Each structure stands twice: as C-alpha cells, then as structure tokens.
Amino acid sequence: MIALPLILLRRGQKGGQALVESCVVIAIVCLLFFSTFQISQLFASQEVLDYAAGRGARAITVGFNRFMVEKTVLVGAIPNAGRMINPVYQGGPSVEHALETARIPLFLGAEHEGRLQAILDYENWNTINYKKPAVSMGDGTFRYEVDQKVPLSDPFRRAYYAADSVELSGENYLDEHYTLYMETDDGGWR
C-alpha cells in the first residue's frame, strides 16, 4: 500500500521536470526563430539601402539637382521606411500601396521641401542619411552612400543585442558618364 503513492509521487516529479525542460526548449527555439527572422529583415534592409543608393547615383549621373536626388533616394528607401504617417489612411496594405502609387509622382514632382511631408511621410524616414556627397573614386567612377539606423522589431532583441537599432550602409558605384553629355557652367563640355 505504501509503495503505490511513492510511485505516483515519482511520476509527478518526472512530469514536472519534463514540463520545465519543455518550457526551456520552447523559449530557446522561439529566441532562435525571432533572431533568425530579424537577421533576414536586416539583410533585406541592406538590399533596400543598396537600391536607394543606386537610385541616388543614377539621379546624380543624369544631372538631377540635390533636392531631386534626395527625393529619389527616399522613394527608393520606402520599404525601410516603416508605417505611412501621412496621408492618414484606414485599411490594410492594399490601401497603403494604392496611396503610395498615387502619391509618389506627386512627391517626386514637388518643388519645395516644405510640401514633401504633406504629400508622403513615413515613420522611419528620419533614420535615413542620404545627404552625403558622391565621392569620386579617381578611376572614372564615383560612389554614393545611404546610411540608416534600422530599428529592430524583435521583441526579444535584448537577449542578443543591446541597442534598439542597427546602423546599415548601402552603397553603389557608377561610372561618371555624365561628362560625355553635360555642359559645364561656362558652356563647354566636361
């Protein structure tokens, strides 16, 4: 009679141990899953910054002024920009996409910087540094760079990274062909 409760007690202890072990394993698997997802988002953000730098380099090459280059880079970095703040919309991604499609030409055509936020604005555009000058490499190419402090969205990021954002830099190298078809200020060819 006494042996039966001891067997039940031992089974209960093993069940509790299995529960604790399962919780620890699930927590580790969740941490690995979320960190892998965050790393994949950072790789995608890096590609977007490279694309935005390419758009900026192309805009410089065809002779756009600094203001137009900045607008072009911002449009190229929209996937890294986060939620749309302005215009305010209700609905899901399809509504946001329709608004972007309609507003991007207006944004690119704006003549004054003060009007840009009223046309199109995102929560993370202020984290994008696109005002660096293009750097001539001396071999007929130049480099254009776009930096961003990409905010981390993983709820468990403190377990593996101390900061709330990661500094990424996108760059693009392009040949300086504009010298073949653009005139200088004095009327001659470069």
pLDDT tens digits, one per residue of 17-55:
888 999 999 989 988 898 899 899 999 999 999 999 999
Distance CA 114, CA 131 (A): 17
The pLDDT assigned to 42 comes to 92
Domains of the chain in sequence order: 41-82+123-180 (3.90.230.10)
The pLDDT assigned to 112 comes to 87
The pLDDT assigned to 96 comes to 85
Tell me: the pLDDT tens digits for 141-150? 888 899 999 9
Tell me: the pLDDT tens digits for 173-185? 888 766 665 555 5
**pLDDT beyond 60 at 171:** yes
Distance CA 87, CA 175 (A): 37
Tell me: the pLDDT tens digits for 61-109? 887 888 999 999 999 999 998 888 888 888 888 888 888 889 999 999 9
The pLDDT assigned to 85 comes to 85
The pLDDT assigned to 189 comes to 36
138-164 as b/e, with b when 16 or more CB fall inside 10 Å? eeeebebbbbbbbbbebebbeeeeeee
**pLDDT beyond 80 at 14:** no
pLDDT band at 190 (very low <50, low <70, confident <90, very high): very low
The pLDDT assigned to 11 comes to 56
The structure tokens 């000058």 sit at: 133
The structure tokens 């078809």 sit at: 181
